[in-house]
Amino acid sequence: MKAKIGLVVSDFNQEITSIMEKAAEKAAKSLKLEVVKKIHVPGAFEIPFAANKLLKNKKINAVVALGAVVQGETYHDVVIMNAVSSALVDLSIKYNKPIGFGVIGPRVAWQQAKARAEEYAKRAVKAAAEMAKIKD
């Protein structure tokens, strides 16, 4: 059976996240996964809300979250990453479905995030695919 996934893509730092989106779609295709639904959100903070919507969908076996939270002059990136990662773990457990975590950060420079974009996306899709194989 072909696993079906949903993608959540943050549009903040779109030059980076568009690379991630393309890499995730390519990785999904190579792993014979079907991307059933894709939701774009304004920023990383909104990823859990969209992931929640996708996890409720009975057709979706796993979700992949993609975003880039770049370091600024404050610790805002750390706060955002802590909130997003914690919320995604809680949602994964609540719905008993895996979430591939492809959100870059915190404490990374823009250039570092861009350099890691493709690899993070591929790894997130692969993790979601592997975890979706685990049966109750």
Residue 38 amino acid letter: K
State the Cα–Cα distance between residues 98 and 91, nearest whole angstrom: 9
* H/E segment holding residue 103: strand 99-104
Convert 24-69 into a string of H (helix), E (strand) and C (coil): HHHHHHHCCCEEEEEEEECCHHHHHHHHHHHHHCCCCCEEEEEEEC
pLDDT tens, 72-108?
Answer: 999 999 999 999 999 999 999 999 999 999 999 999 9
Query: Does the structure show a pLDDT above 70 at 13?
Result: yes
pLDDT at 134: 87
Is residue 40 annotated as a catalytic residue, yes or no? no
Cβ atoms of 18 and 119 closer than 8 Å: no
pLDDT at 136: 61
- Around 48, how many Cα atoms within 13 Å sit in the side-chain half-sphere? 16
pLDDT at 1: 60
Query: Does the structure show a pLDDT above 90 at 2?
Result: no
Query: Does the structure show a pLDDT above 90 at 135?
Result: no
State the Cα–Cα distance between residues 90 and 84, nearest whole angstrom: 10
Check residues 21 and 135 and name the one with the higher pLDDT: 21
Query: Does the structure show a pLDDT above 80 at 113?
Result: yes
Q: From the candidates 29, 76, 94, 107, give the one annotated as an active-site residue.
A: 76
Candidates 127, 129, 105; CA nearest to 29 is: 129
pLDDT tens, 25-68?
Answer: 999 999 999 999 999 999 999 999 999 999 999 999 999 999 99
β partners of residue 64? 7, 100
Indicate whether this model's pTM tops 0.85.
Answer: yes
* H/E segment holding residue 119: helix 110-132
- What's the mean pLDDT in 100-123? 98
